[in-house]
Amino acid sequence: QITLKESGPTLVKPTQTLTLTCMFSGFSLSSSGVGVGWIRQPPGKALEWLAFIYWDDDKRYSPSLKSRLTITKDTSKNQVVLTMAYMDPVDTATYYCAHSLVGRFGELSVFDYWGQGTLVTVSS
Amino acid sequence: QSALTQPPSASGFPGQSVTISCTGSSSDVGAYNYVSWYQQHPGKAPKLMIYEVSKRPSGVPDRFSGSKSGNTASLTVSGLQAEDEGDYYCCSYAGSNNLGVFGTGTKVTVL
């Protein structure tokens, strides 16, 4: 069965870089049609898609955060890493990683399995 | 890219039906049949309820159904049950440079 789990710091200071790791099992990120995405949710607010990495190492970022985000994968370790630079208190949120299926032309079809999420607080 | 628009709240008595709308544009909901719906209980991760507009994953009750007309997608929960309470979010593919746009979220209350 597919499982994902996020890990990383619970507290970061403003201007620091956040590094989050998503460890997964039950699928291979080298299989065609598969991807992993990162989504965040500020306390009491809506979900927001951040970044996505395809099985073939193609990457996509939210246009509004593109300059601050980097997503990478280590297929041998079953890990996906997200870094977000220049953290600000407004970035305080629960960060989720999720398994995704991709359509024939690279369309994001669905986030079908989610990790439990990790709360990151940005404060000095 | 703006978030998709959902009503802040919806409610119904047990056994009734509730429908949640998700309004986007011709660049997202109206352009692709890649609309999905997620249920979220407090303190929990979102759970997939509907994908590709109207498909139901295994294990999701057939009380949940999805549809789309133009730039608006809808989720209907029939035969409301207490466990259906929670927040619901839609999500749509919006092109190769903006893979996933989420909705503003709807809080469903079972009266």
Q: Which of A45, A88, A95 is nearest to A71 (CA)?
A: A95
Q: How many CB atoms lie within 10 A of CB A82?
A: 24
For residue B91, the model assigns a pLDDT of 97
The token duo for B88 is: 């619901």
Q: Which of B109, B86, B111, B90 is nearest to B101 (CA)?
A: B90
Size of interface A-B (CB pairs under 8 A): 72
Provide the mean pLDDT of chain B: 96
Count each helix (H run) and each strand (E run) in chain A, helices first. 0, 11
Q: Do A112 and B91 touch (CB under 8 A)?
A: no
Q: In this predicted model, what pLDDT tens digit does every residue of B10-29 receive, in sequence order?
A: 999 999 999 999 999 999 99
Q: Do A108 and B52 touch (CB under 8 A)?
A: no
d(CA A82, CA A22) in angstroms, rounded, equals 8
Chain B residues in contact with A39 (beta carbon < 8 A): 100, 102
Side-chain half-sphere exposure of B12, counting CA atoms within 13 A? 18
> Does A106 lie at the interface with B, CB-CB under 8 angstroms?
yes
The closest CB to that of B34, out of A63, A107, A116, belongs to: A107
